[in-house]
Structure 1
Amino acid sequence: MTASPAPPVTAGRVPALTAATRISLSLIAGGAVANIYYNQPLLGLLEQDLGHAAAVLVPTATLAGYGLGILGLVPIGDKYPRRGLIVGQLVALALVLVVAALAPDVTVLVGASFVIGVLSTAAQQAVPFAAELAPDASRGRMVGQVMTGLLLGILLARTASGFVGAGFGWRAVFWAAAGLSLLLALMAALTLPHTPSARHLGYGALMRSVLELVRTHPALLRAALSQALLFAAFNAFWTSLALLVQGPPFGLDPAGAGLFGLVGAAGALVAPLAGRFADSRSPRPVVVGGALLTIAAFAVFGLFGGTSLVALVVGVLLIDIGINAALIANQTRVYALAAGARGRINTVFFTLIFVGGAVGASVGTRTFAAAGWPALCLVGGLFATAALVVTLLERR
């Protein structure tokens, strides 16, 4: 792709969200977030090479770093131009990925993985950047398109990493990721527009204002809570699916279980449609519809999913479409609350979502181990129902 550098923008003016910028932000979002998922198909190889501790600590450190990056780095997008932040994070990310590729022992790899997680939050700079540049009337659709890139990055990261790791070893995955990060940094420098600094707050005041946003915008907390409950349902399912399909009557190996992730492409591709509907009508019915689809998915899982692969595929389609449609609609809602605070809004929103996901994963695995698949489906359905109630109780 050939692109000329974007022209500078006069102070106080926000440039238009062009097609080239939108494509760049989509690729950056997907390419950056992929780094926190590359290690998951490699855990067996890491265990063979560096010991059992690597398989336990590397994914944990990466996700912990990503959570810290959301809290500590994403808010500064409201203070400094996001173009520079994205380029800087991607270049630094490439360097740390090289360290991971060369890691001589588990200690170095775990430390590098933590920093990889922190810097991969460039993805969370890209999404509010799109919301900042998009016109009010089409913000949901534009955010949905960038989120499609992010969701496809999550989907394809595991598949690509698995193939590269199987053919060339786990170090090759980190080398390839480092090269990709440098290419994305170059693309960002060439195609993303210059925007003026928005705020003169110090870092401490900026972080304190995150709590102020929660206090003054209750709609932000409600949207984040409903999405966190849906994400809890989502993670409860996905953390138990591999255990289900590897046992009787399915007997699939880990590669076969991983193919269910490809079904999730439908959920990623529905994101722009959900955003378009949220723009033209209202985000609220999209969130309600997403919660209902998620409830329906767990009904299918509970009634037929324990014995039928077809039912599992249908349920995966329903849950991915429902979760992602609600996500885009809730993002559209919260990005409209405060134009100059979208980075900090993103911090609150995704921090609560990650908390919900962690709770869902823990409750889901424990429930499946203790009471089996039907109980897991009941728990997932209850999480989704709670999300629906939160949305319905909100005043229009």
Structure 2
Amino acid sequence: MNKECIDIVEPIDVVEEQRKEPAALDKRLVFIMAIACALSVANLYYIQPLLAIMGQEFAVSANQMGFIATMGQIGYACGLLFIIPLGDKYNQRKLIVGMLIAVTLALVFMASAPSIMLITVASFLVGVATVVPQLIIPYAASLASARERGQVVGTVMSGLLIGILLARTISGLVAAHSGWRAMYWIAAAMMVVLAILMRFLLPSDKAKKGDMSYPRLLSSLWGLVREEPVLREVMLFGAMAFAAFSAFWVALSFLLATPPYHFGSEVAGLFGLVGVAGALAASFVGKFADRRDPRAANGLALVIVLLAFVCMWLTGQWLFGLIIGTILLDLGTQANQISSQARIYSMRPEARNRLNTAYMFFYFVGGSLGSLLGTLGWSLARWNGVCAVASLMLLIALGFYALNTRKMRMYLQSRT
């Protein structure tokens, strides 16, 4: 699609924002928000390499420890559903600082919990309060002008993905030297510092968010999904891409433990460092979404993720094949996420947090499905089964992309 066509079909909200031509967002502020996303999202992922150590301390089974990690994910989903919509009603800076204080308390609870039952509760609370990045990202989008929104979202999202990828490696190293509780005390201290920085460095958001009650905010989520075909489309793209991503990570440690590798779990954690290369390309993806058709960026990203699995399917018996595939996987997943969020943030400025809630909730549903199907694929056909399951989900997304192209073009034209 050429540039002229893109201009014709841009949503009315985007055109109106471009006419206002707000000043470019300070790059230092964007960098600070990216760091805030990295540090805060890491709280949810520190636990993964610590499960074995925690299980030994409390003498519980691997299944019980896995349930503790699952409770963190459930808490995160609850936070997405019940907290993020508040960003469309209340001062976002205060909400971000308040949630950083909340996650600090949850981390202290986690670090000092004396029993496995209390640790399970603490894991859930950490998950609920870790939704800070999903408040920061739409806030960054609202501060940015339409012409730079994709790049800003891409940069902030790169912080999010880097935080996810490095959290496992860092917590494993800290626990090896100082014990698992030390990681949560350190995380709590970092959240205190981050709360202070966010209070003084984020611009105040004094615009009135409307008088919609909290129950109406929640009930309006379904209305947004029903009324916005763009939102429904990116929900599917995001769910399928993250499902494939999760299938890979849930099966990777199994693959590395088998011939010809015979590696331990620490090597699987180090693959997070490999994925950083893909995350660092996020700002370039954002620029592409700003200057080209962001829907085309979605399609390209899905193709990249599919190529990653084809590469790992054909060359997974060699380490270099896995490394190349991991880089492509993280690049494609990140590109799809940035393109999708750039699209939804240009739709309804007054509902950005609720749009993000609907999108991210379905995104993590897809991730849960991918973890389940990835494990099933491994049990049925080992690595071939994992790659087959992931490829099938990506083909579903690409098939929908192709079939929905004409309908989406007509919808965008109708909004001009």
**TM-score when scaled to structure 2?**
0.89
Deviation at 1:233, TM superposition (A): 1.1
- In structure 2, the residue matched to 1:389 is 399
> Partners of 1:140 and 1:244 in 2: how far apart?
36
Deviates more, 1:18-27 or 1:170-179: 18-27
Offset from partner CA, 1:33-78 (integer Å, 9 cap, x none): 1100011110111001123255223211111100100000000000
**Aligned match for 1:371, one of 360, 364, 381:** 381
Q: Does 1:275 align with 2:286?
A: yes
CA contact 1:30–1:152 (8 Å) conserved in 2: yes
**Aligned match for 2:35, one of 27, 41, 45:** 27
Q: Does 1:246 align with 2:257?
A: yes
Q: Does 1:103 align with 2:103?
A: no
CA contact 2:111–2:181 (8 Å) conserved in 1: yes
Deviation at 1:19, TM superposition (A): 2.6
Q: Does 1:167 align with 2:177?
A: yes
Within-5 A mapping of 1:229-378? 229-305=240-316, 307-378=317-388
CA contact 2:155–2:283 (8 Å) conserved in 1: yes
Q: Does 1:186 align with 2:196?
A: yes
Count residues with an aligned counterpart: 382
> Partners of 1:224 and 1:79 in 2: how far apart?
23
Q: Does 1:75 align with 2:88?
A: no
> Partners of 1:133 and 1:16 in 2: how far apart?
9
Q: What runs of 5+ residues in structure 2 fail to find an aligned partner?
A: 1-21, 410-416
> Partners of 1:325 and 1:16 in 2: how far apart?
22
Deviation at 1:317, TM superposition (A): 1.1
Deviates more, 1:45-54 or 1:307-316: 45-54
Offset from partner CA, 1:295-330 (integer Å, 9 cap, x none): 11111111121x211111111111111111111011
Offset from partner CA, 1:358-386 (integer Å, 9 cap, x none): 11110111111122211221111111111
> Partners of 2:42 and 2:248 in 1: how far apart?
21
> Partners of 2:33 and 2:348 in 1: how far apart?
21
> Partners of 1:234 and 1:276 in 2: how far apart?
23
Deviates more, 1:163-172 or 1:50-59: 50-59
CA contact 1:198–1:340 (8 Å) conserved in 2: yes
SS in 1 for 2:203: coil
Offset from partner CA, 1:238-292 (integer Å, 9 cap, x none): 1111101111111111111221111100221111111110000111121111111
CA contact 1:24–1:192 (8 Å) conserved in 2: no
Offset from partner CA, 1:120-161 (integer Å, 9 cap, x none): 001110000001111011100000011011111111111111
SS in 2 for 1:320: helix
SS in 2 for 1:264: helix
Report the aligned-residue RMSD: 1.3
Q: Does 1:86 align with 2:96?
A: yes
Deviates more, 1:226-235 or 1:176-185: 226-235
**Aligned match for 1:40, one of 45, 48, 60:** 48
> Partners of 1:272 and 1:166 in 2: how far apart?
34
> Partners of 2:27 and 2:216 in 1: how far apart?
35
> Partners of 2:364 and 2:303 in 1: how far apart?
21
> Partners of 1:391 and 1:184 in 2: how far apart?
40
Q: Which amino acid aligns with 2:181?
A: R
Q: What runs of 5+ residues in structure 1 fail to find an aligned partner?
A: 1-13
CA contact 2:23–2:145 (8 Å) conserved in 1: no
> Partners of 2:357 and 2:212 in 1: how far apart?
17
**TM-score when scaled to structure 1?**
0.94
Deviation at 1:16, TM superposition (A): 6.5
